[in-house]
Structure formats: C-alpha cells, structure tokens
A and B are shown apart, each in its own frame.
Chain A
C-alpha cells in the first residue's frame, strides 16, 4: 500500500523566505510526527499530532516554526523567515496507534536548503 509521502522532495529558499512542507500520512494513521535531521545526525523530534490535535510541540526550535493538521490527515510544517540554520531534511512519520505504542513509518523527507 501507499506509504508516507512528502512534498516537495527538495526546496531551496533564500534567507528570509517562508516555506511550507507537506506530509501525507498513511491513510487511517492516528499519530503524525515531524522530525528534523541535520547532516550527519539522527532525526530530532519537532512536534506530534494525534488526529487534528497538536499534543506536543516541545521540539520546535523557535516561534518561526508552525505545524498544522486541520482535518486529522495531511499535515503542513511552515517555517517563516528561514535562516541558514534551518537547512536540514524534514521527516514526517505516521503511526497507526497512539504515540509510543508502535513503530513509526517515515516518509522520504524534504531537503531544505536555505541560501
């Protein structure tokens, strides 16, 4: 079946621009996660949704980062006024069950480069 999809796969933004990254989770998956993966490092948690509710946003690095999942399926991660340190791969993951109860299925990621 279809896995988690993300778009765009690559995004180049000039410093100061706003960007929006999209995630389509596996159909029926309750939980959705966003992670940030810097070059040569492991993914780091940004935020978590259970259906449409954002239950944890403790990993968002600044108030320039905003995520939403208004209908409990597709999610968008928005970064305002991008900075060079925002350059990373942004990974989306979904899980069939409530957070922490099962494995997460990851999308291919969006590679963001801020110039």
Chain B
C-alpha cells in the first residue's frame, strides 16, 4: 500500500532563513509524489510533483523538493522563507486513481 509520513506537526523558521519540510514515502513500484499547500479557508494548491528524472524538482513560489530514493524521502525546501509562506503543507503520493495525503505540517515563518 502507498503511504507518506510527515514526521513534524509544526516547523518554525525565521524569515529569510532556509526551510525544510520533511516527508518520507512507502510505495510499491515507482513513486509519483506531490506537495500541496493549504492556506486558511482555501483549497489545496499544487506546488510540485516528482514522476521521474532529476531528483531536484522545482515548483511554484520558489519551492523545490529533493527526491532521495535510498532514504525514501521527498523533502520540501526553500532557500529563503517569507512570512507569506506560513500555511499547512501536505506531502502526497499517487495511488491510482486517488492521491493519498500525509497528515500535514504547519509551517510558521516569523518576521
């Protein structure tokens, strides 16, 4: 069965510092991974996806994610955090036809 785990409920970062939101996966076959972001009272927004190819995937709003097969990880990163990045972030994996989401990590960026 496909699954993802987000080990941190909350991540706190100062504005301007790099940020990492962690995700590990468990899949049978090749992984097809996503990151989504959820702002208050708004639906989930797609950030990026990994299918195959380069291990570093670039996405929206300056985010990127690093796929690491040996560590079964797909961590979300950004070189310099903005206060506006504060939101709930979900790692997810494809399990046809649906997407299976992690429990979410709340990212808080302090000025």
A-B pairs with CB below 8 Å: how many?
A: 56
Q: How many residues of B contact A (CB 8 A)?
A: 22
Verify B101–A108 contact, CB threshold 8 A. Answer: no
Q: For the complex, what is the distance from the CA of A93 to the CA of B36, rounded to whole Å?
A: 13
Q: Which residues of A contact B102 (CB under 8 A)?
A: 42
Q: Does A60 contact B (CB under 8 A)?
A: no
Is residue B14 within 8 Å, beta carbon to beta carbon, of the partner chain? no
For the complex, what is the distance from the CA of A91 to the CA of B41, rounded to whole Å?
A: 12
> Which A residues are CB-close (under 8 A) to B42?
108
Tell me the dominant secondary structure on chain A's binding face.
loop
Q: Which residues of A contact B (CB under 8 A)?
A: 3-4, 31, 33, 40-45, 48, 50, 55-56, 59, 91, 93, 98-100, 103-109
B96 touches A108 (CB 8 A): no
A103 touches B98 (CB 8 A): no
Q: Which residue of B lies closest to A49 (CB)?
A: B97
Distance, CA A103 to CA B41, complexed state (A): 21
The proximity string for B residues 38-62 relative to A, scoring 1 for CB distances below 8 Å and 0 otherwise, is 0001111110010000000000000
B90 within 8 A of A: yes
Smallest beta-carbon distance B100→chain A, Å: 7
